[in-house]
Amino acid sequence: MRPLTYLVCLLSSLLLVACGGGGGSSASTTPTTPPVVAPSVQNSVSIVVDSGPNTSSGQSVGAVNSPYVSVTICQPGSSTQCQTIDHILVDTGSSGLRLISSVLSGTAALPALTDAGGNAIAECARFADGYSWGSIKQADLRVAGEVAKGISVQIIGDNAFPNVPSGCSGSLVAENTVAAFRANGVIGISSFAQDCGSACASQALEGWYYTCPGGTCAAAALGVAKQVGNPVAAFPQDNNGTAIQLPAIGSSGAAGVTGTLIFGIGTQANNALGSATIYTLNSSGNLSALYQGTVMQAFFDSGSNGLFFADSTIPNCSVSQGFYCPISTLSRSVVNTGINGRSSTVNFNVANADALFQSNPNNTAFNNLAGGPAFTSYFDWGLPFFFGRSVYTAIEGATAAGTVGPYVAY
C-alpha cells in the first residue's frame, strides 16, 4: 500500500512546486553535461525551464526550476479532435496527467469517467501545501511520437463538482488555477504505474477518488485500470520508464534551459543507461539517504523546484519563504543507498535564495536552491539534482535495461 503522501509536492514563495543496478558499490557523483539528444524523435520531446505560462490576466506565473513540455490530448479514438497544450510540468514525483480546466478548448471535449452506477468520478490530488480537485475524464495522449490511448486524466478546477469534500481540502489551500498551479498541467512520470494503485481499488479512501450523487461527495473505490496513471506505462512501446537530461548551469543560474525528456530505458539507441548506476527503490518509491549523520528516506522529484531537507543549522529566508538563506554558500553532501545496496555520494551547494533571486532577477533555473522539507524524515531531490545529469526512472514491475523497476539511475 502506498502512503497518502505519495503526491508530495513542495511549495516555495515564488513558484509552483509540484509536486513529488545491484550490489554494494560506492561512488561519488558530480553533475556533468549529459549527451545531447535530438528532440522530437519518436521517443523524445524537448523540455524547457522558463518562467512558466501566462495567467488569464496575461502575466507570467513567475516560475523557477520548473521543467515543462508540450502535450497533445485528443478525444479517445480521434486524430482530429485534439488540442496541444504547452507548459505541462514534468514531474517524477507523481503519476498521471492533470490539466487545468481553463486551458482546455472545446476542440477536444473529453468524456467523463463513470462508475458502474453511472456516477461521474472526481479526484483529489493532495500536495504538501495544497490540493487540486476536479473531474476524471478519458483522453488519448500524444507526446513526441508516443500515444497513450483511453487513459484517465484529471481535469483540475472544472465546474462539474463545485463542492470539495473536507477529506480532500483539509487545511490545505486550493491549487486549481494556472496562477496557483504555476503550470497548465502536470505529467506525472514517477516509478508508479497508477497514482494510488491497489489501495484505492480495494477500498474508498479519503483524499483520492469520489462520486457526488445529489451534490454530496463521498470517497469511492476505483479499479486500477480506471485510475489516473503514469501515461508512459500505457504507451505500446518505450513504456518501461523515462530519462530526463538537462545541461549543467552555473552558480548564478540561467535565464532559460532546454533539455530532453526521453521515453523508455534501453529500448532505443538514445535511452541506454550507459555509465549510470541503478539504485532500486522500496515499495514507496524511496531509497535511503544519509545526511549529516541522519538517515532518512529520499525521493527524486523533478516537480520540486529545490532540494528540500531538514537542517536546523541553515537559516530560513526572510523574503523567499520556504528556501534556505545561509550567510554564504554552503557545500553539503548526501550518501544515497538503493535497496540493492549500491550507494553514491552526491555533492551539492546551498545558496542564499534571497540574494540569488535579487542578483539574477531574469534567471529561471538554479542548481543551488534548497529549503526545509514538508516532512522532516524525507530528503527531496528536486530539480537542482537533475541539472548536468541524465536521470532515469524505471516503472514498478517493468524490466528496464535488465533490472525490474522501481528504480532510479544516474
* 44-234 and 274-409 have identical folds: yes
pLDDT given for residue 2 in this prediction: 35
Helix ranges (H only) for 40-186 are: 166-169, 178-181
pLDDT exceeds cutoff 60 at 210 = yes
Cis peptide before 31 (omega within 30 of 0): no
Q: What is the pLDDT of residues 324-333, one digit of tens each?
A: 999 999 999 9
| Selected residue with higher pLDDT from 29 and 317 | 317
Question: What are the grid coordinates assigned to 183, written together?
Answer: 503550470
Q: Is 300 exposed, middle or buried (0-12, 13-18, 19+ CB in 10 A)?
A: buried
- For the residues 5-30, what does the mean pLDDT come to? 41
Residue 332: CB atoms within 10 A of its CB come to 16
pLDDT exceeds cutoff 50 at 16 = no
Given the candidates 3.40.50, 2.60.120, 1.10.10, 2.40.70, the CATH classification of the domain at 274-409 is 2.40.70
Q: What is the pLDDT of residues 53-94, one digit of tens each?
A: 998 888 899 999 999 999 999 999 999 999 999 999 999 999
Q: Which among 81, 77, 97 is positioned nearest to 89, based on CA atoms?
A: 97
pLDDT given for residue 26 in this prediction: 47
For the whole model, what pTM was predicted? Answer: 0.91
Backbone angles phi, psi at 328, to 5 degrees: -135, 165
pLDDT given for residue 19 in this prediction: 41
- The share of the chain scoring above pLDDT 70, in percent, equals 90
pLDDT given for residue 39 in this prediction: 52
pLDDT band at 228 (very low <50, low <70, confident <90, very high): very high
Q: Which among 303, 301, 305 is positioned nearest to 253, based on CA atoms?
A: 305
Question: What are the grid coordinates assigned to 351, written together?
Answer: 545558496
Strand order across the beta sheet in which 26-29 lies: 26-29, 343-350, 330-337, 287-291, 294-300, 378-381, 307-308, 370-371
pLDDT given for residue 10 in this prediction: 38
- For the residues 131-156, what does the mean pLDDT come to? 96
pLDDT given for residue 108 in this prediction: 72
Q: What distance in Å separates the CA atoms of residue 199 and residue 196, rounded to the nearest whole number?
A: 7
Domain 44-234: give its CATH architecture. Answer: Beta Barrel (2.40)
pLDDT band at 5 (very low <50, low <70, confident <90, very high): very low
pLDDT band at 159 (very low <50, low <70, confident <90, very high): confident
Q: Is 85 left (phi over 0), alpha (psi -120 to 50) or beta?
A: beta
Q: What distance in Å separates the CA atoms of residue 265 and residue 239, rounded to the nearest whole number?
A: 8
Q: Taking a C-beta distance cutoff of 8 angstroms, is the pair 76, 151 a contact?
A: no
| Selected residue with higher pLDDT from 38 and 153 | 153
Question: Domain coordinates of the chain in residue numbers?
Answer: 44-234, 274-409
Q: How far apart are the first and last CA of the chain?
A: 27
Q: What is the pLDDT of residues 87-135, one digit of tens each?
A: 999 999 999 999 999 999 977 789 999 999 999 999 999 887 789 999 9
pLDDT band at 40 (very low <50, low <70, confident <90, very high): low
- For the residues 252-272, what does the mean pLDDT come to? 96
pLDDT exceeds cutoff 90 at 318 = yes
pLDDT given for residue 375 in this prediction: 80
pLDDT exceeds cutoff 90 at 305 = yes
Segment among 123-137, 179-193, 221-235, 342-356 with least mean pLDDT: 123-137
pLDDT band at 170 (very low <50, low <70, confident <90, very high): confident
pLDDT given for residue 31 in this prediction: 63
Residue 294, Cα to own-chain centre: how many angstroms? 26
pLDDT exceeds cutoff 50 at 9 = no
Residues 6+ apart with CB under 8 A from 335: 289, 290, 343, 344, 345, 346
Q: What distance in Å separates the CA atoms of residue 51 and residue 54, rounded to the nearest whole number?
A: 9
| C-alpha pair distances (Å), 275 with each of 25, 38, 129, 202, 270 | 13, 20, 37, 41, 14
Bridge partner residues of 47 (DSSP): 259
One-letter-per-residue 3-state SS of 173-207: EECCCHHHHCCCEEEEECCCCECCCHHHHHCCCCC
Question: What are the grid coordinates assigned to 301, written together?
Answer: 522529484
pLDDT exceeds cutoff 90 at 11 = no
**Interior CA angle at 68 toward 385 and 74, to 5°?**
140
- Containing 355, the helix (H) or strand (E) segment is helix 353-359
Q: Is 361 exposed, middle or buried (0-12, 13-18, 19+ CB in 10 A)?
A: exposed
pLDDT exceeds cutoff 60 at 3 = no
